[in-house]
């Protein structure tokens, strides 16, 4: 199944439109498009099977923390012979970070060039790596490109993302993830409503190999980790396409975001029940059971505003899914060994 997830900052009343494949927060007055997915956009059967198994049978990361498993991962990812030899020769095994190459592509609109400061981009990548450190995954920039294209993040979404797929086919690299940093529209308001797409990424779909982020949010503390979370298999904590997750956790690997240590999340529509000083939801009860919702407000994959003096975080279950997705779904990505990062 091909899935897009968009992260929005909305300053006016809007509503959530979802289908089996697409989820977006539109401008007020926008209707849901009639979506017909070309066959090329649907993951191959093996990818879909592996993706589904991540949630029901995701192995905790510690199961990979032995020499033979790590050597097998490196061989499947076409890693450097020197890294494999290093592991074969050491006696006392230590888990090493898996370092994925990252290509950074700044997309410049010829008619209104915006040259994003490289220091902001580097800060954004550091924020990403800090977020992924407990997943034993890091990204290292290996290539910096400037692409001159008259596009915006919204124009890539036109015609049910046909523009995005054409753009990806033109510029993506096969064995390296690309972070596209793109302009947004100059006018973000229409019909007394304002909204802004912060970024988007496919979930476990191998026909594209990128993450797209609005230049404005490249060094935001949530946006880049959120979009890479999607790229590495995560759904929103308030996901409903698989069914609404129950507060008591029943069938948690099948419902909601399909990860059992992220509590049931009713979604940002109910943010009036959230105390951002205490970073908790109070008083909202599940219909029928009467149990109170206790979602993780500061989760990277939620849609809530930032909590006061609290960092965003992934749960251990989310970290496990990302690690499994990185080594199983993203098998065409080159991997190198890395030591514990210093931030």
Contact 11, 195 (CB under 8 A): yes
pTM above 0.85, yes or no: no
Q: Give the DSSP H/E element, type plus range, for residue 196.
A: strand 193-202
Q: pLDDT tens, 53-73? A: 666 665 566 656 678 888 888
Does residue 4 or residue 277 have the better pLDDT? Answer: 277
Segments of the chain assigned to CATH 3.40.390: 4-16+64-234+316-338
Nearest residue to 271 (alpha-carbon basis) of 262, 281, 279, 263: 281
Nearest residue to 239 (alpha-carbon basis) of 261, 266, 201, 205: 266
Does residue 130 carry a pLDDT above 90? Answer: yes
pLDDT band, very low/low/confident/very high, at 78 (cuts 50, 70, 90): confident
Q: What integer best gives the mean pLDDT of the chain?
A: 82
Q: pLDDT tens, 267-287? A: 999 999 999 999 999 999 999
3-state secondary structure of 9: strand
Residue owning tokens 């890294």: 83
3-state secondary structure of 180: strand
Q: What is the pLDDT of residue 60?
A: 64
Spell out the long-range contacts of 294-298 with Cβ–Cβ below 8 A and sequence spacing 24 or more.
294/247, 294/263, 295/237, 295/238, 295/262, 295/263, 295/264, 295/265, 295/266, 296/237, 296/262, 296/263, 296/265
Backbone angles phi, psi at 24, to 5 degrees: -150, 155
77 to 11, 27, 228, 263: CA distances (angstroms): 43, 42, 19, 34
Does residue 25 or residue 119 have the better pLDDT? Answer: 119
Does residue 36 carry a pLDDT above 60? Answer: no
Does residue 2 carry a pLDDT above 70? Answer: no
- How many CB atoms neighbour CB 73 within 10 A? 17
Q: What is the pLDDT of residue 123?
A: 97
pLDDT band, very low/low/confident/very high, at 28 (cuts 50, 70, 90): very low
Q: What is the pLDDT of residue 287?
A: 94
Q: What is the pLDDT of residue 193?
A: 84
159 to 33, 163, 194: CA distances (angstroms): 9, 7, 21
| Options 3.40.390, 1.10.8, 3.30.70, 2.30.29; CATH of 4-16+64-234+316-338 | 3.40.390
pLDDT band, very low/low/confident/very high, at 186 (cuts 50, 70, 90): confident
Q: What is the pLDDT of residue 56?
A: 64
Task: Tell me the mean pLDDT in the region 165-175.
Answer: 93
Q: How far is CA 289 from the centre of its chain?
A: 32
DSSP assignments along 322-341, one per residue: HHHHHHHTTTTS--EEE---
- Strand partners of residue 101: 140
Q: pLDDT tens, 293-324? A: 999 999 999 999 999 989 999 999 999 899 88
Task: Tell me the mean pLDDT in the region 164-192.
Answer: 91
Dihedral angle sign, alpha carbons of residues 314, 316, 322, 323:
positive
Q: pLDDT tens, 8-22? A: 433 332 333 333 233
């Amino acid at each position: 199944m091909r899935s897009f997830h968009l992260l929005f900052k909305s300053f006016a009343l809007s509503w959530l439109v979802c289908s089996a494949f697409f989820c977006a927060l539109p401008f007020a007055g926008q209707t849901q498009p009639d979506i017909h997915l070309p066959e090329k956009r649907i993951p191959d059967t093996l990818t879909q099977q592996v993706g589904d198994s991540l949630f029901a049978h995701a192995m905790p990361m510690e199961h990979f923390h032995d020499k033979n498993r790590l050597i097998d991962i490196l061989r499947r990812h076409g890693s450097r012979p020197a890294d494999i030899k290093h592991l074969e020769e050491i006696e006392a095994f230590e888990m090493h970070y898996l370092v994925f190459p990252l290509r950074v592509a700044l997309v410049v609109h010829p008619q209104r060039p915006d040259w994003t400061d490289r220091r902001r981009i580097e800060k954004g990548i550091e924020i990403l790596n800090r977020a992924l450190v407990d997943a034993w995954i890091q990204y290292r920039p290996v290539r910096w490109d400037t692409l001159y294209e008259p596009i915006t993040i919204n124009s890539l979404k036109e015609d049910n993302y046909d523009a995005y797929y054409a753009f990806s086919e033109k510029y993506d690299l096969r064995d390296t993830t690309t972070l596209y940093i793109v302009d947004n529209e100059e006018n973000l308001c229409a019909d007394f409503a304002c909204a802004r797409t912060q970024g988007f990424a496919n979930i476990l779909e191998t026909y594209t190999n990128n993450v797209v982020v609005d230049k404005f949010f490249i060094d935001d503390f949530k946006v880049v980790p959120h979009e890479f979370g999607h790229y590495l298999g995560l759904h929103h904590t308030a996901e409903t396409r698989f069914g609404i997750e129950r507060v008591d956790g029943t069938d948690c690997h099948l419902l909601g975001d399909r990860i059992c240590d992220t509590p049931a999340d009713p979604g940002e529509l109910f943010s009036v029940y959230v105390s951002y000083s205490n970073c908790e939801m109070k008083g909202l009860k599940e219909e029928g059971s009467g149990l109170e919702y206790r979602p993780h407000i500061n989760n990277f994959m939620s849609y809530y505003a930032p909590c006061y003096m609290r960092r965003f975080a992934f749960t251990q279950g989310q970290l496990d899914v990302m690690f499994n997705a990185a080594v199983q779904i993203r098998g065409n990505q080159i991997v190198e060994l890395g030591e514990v990062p210093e931030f």
